[in-house]
Amino acid sequence: MKRINDFGPGVSGLGSLDGLADPSFSQAVVDWQRSHGRHTLPWQNTTDAYRVWLSEIMLQQTQVAAVLGYYARFLERFPTVHALAEAPGEDVMAHWSGLGYYTRARNLHACAKRVVQDYDGVFPSDPALLADLPGIGRSTAAAIAAFSGGVRAAIMDGNVKRVFARVFGIDAYPGIKPVEDAMWRRAEALLPETQDNPGAIEAYTQGLMDLGATLCTRSRPDCGRCPLQDRCVAFATGRTAELPVRKPKKSTPEKRTAMLVIVDGGQVLLEQRPQSGIWGGLLSLPEVGGHVPMEEDAEPVCTSDVAAAAGAFGQLDEVRALRPLVHVFTHYKLHIAPFAVTLASRAQADSHYQWWNMNQIGDAPLPAPVKKLLLDLAMPSLFT
């Protein structure tokens, strides 16, 4: 069997990519997937582009186990792209709440509207047209086209990058554009031919995903069961722990905010956040001062500050500090200081504020840490 371990000058694993079409590579992946890959996930065994698209968006930067429940509930509420396109935005956000990366939900809704408006509710089969829709990048477009229509298109998600980096001994960070571009060229060169091999592109695409998710994992890869072991540079050189090269570390910025848990008559006051930015489009708790860099605001928010801010919503009865919590975003760490505020009487709030019954708070489109905070606090002694 052909062994690829010398790629010419430049970064190891990224020399000349000419003539790298290797049918034995793709066939090894196809054969393994058909015998050992995943076949029972709820979005498999269908050519329904809507269901494939929904699963691919949900699976971006999210583990399968976390997606399963959301996928089922989402389909129950929005069974078709038309149903999703016609739904109110807050309903979409409520069904996404807790899954994280909320820009995906906003793009999902916008994409459904585009598909209905521009394509009469039928997803295009051309990856280039798919990639032009909101929230669908090149790799996701290829996956949708491959799984729903058998289109011969290359994917390049995190799992595939890890498999390629190890198999071909790529010793540069895959997030660098020249490295990523070279990996894309390799991915296209290695696509299986579909003539006289029905289902090959679907099995190959799923196989690469499955290998990265189940065998070629970040830690403790199961090389003994990998169909690519005999051609894997990382395995042959004892570098599976080193490849792929990790992103250069940067210090994580830390910010702080104070949140107001304002309650009155069994209801809690929620604020509609702007469509853009952190938690865009969701409801959340009113904040004091926003997300302030800790180095610029060494003094924590005090009870008197909270009382002054909460006073805009009514006559105060009690203000008390709750246990602080920390939430980690992709780009920074947020230290949250929550304060419970009970009102003796409420004032008229602006239109972007809403009073929610605490016994319905589980249905509110809230960020995961805010929903957890409110559910943990939902006790008669506080909210009645």
Using the Cα atoms of residue 14, residue 1, residue 214 and residue 49 in order, give the sign of their dihedral. positive
Strands 325-328 vs 333-346: parallel, antiparallel or unpaired: antiparallel
Quick one: which of 353, 77, 26 has its CA closest to 206?
Answer: 26
Do the beta carbons of residue 307 and residue 319 sit within 8 Å? Answer: yes
Q: Let me know how long the chain is.
A: 384
In 3-state terms the chain splits into helix, strand, coil percentages (rounded to 5) of 45, 15, 40
Q: Which helix (H) or strand (E) holds 356?
A: strand 353-357
Does 56 qualify as catalytic in the annotation? yes
Strands 254-264 vs 287-293: parallel, antiparallel or unpaired: antiparallel
CA distance 133 to 130: 6
C-alpha to C-alpha distances, 242 to 203, 219, 221, 350, nearest whole angstrom:
28, 10, 12, 54
φ/ψ region of 265 (left if φ > 0, alpha if ψ in -120 to 50, else beta) reads left
CA distance 271 to 382: 20
DSSP 114-155: HHHHHHTT---S-HHHHHTSTT--HHHHHHHHHHHH------
Calculate the dihedral angle through the C-alpha atoms of 225, 227, 230, 233, rounding to the nearest 10 degrees. -90
For the purposes of burial, counting CB atoms within 10 Å of the CB of 212, is it exposed (0-12), middle (13-18) or buried (19 or more)?
A: buried
CA distance 153 to 131: 12
Q: Which of the residues 56, 76, 193, 254 is marked catalytic?
A: 56
Catalytic residues: 56
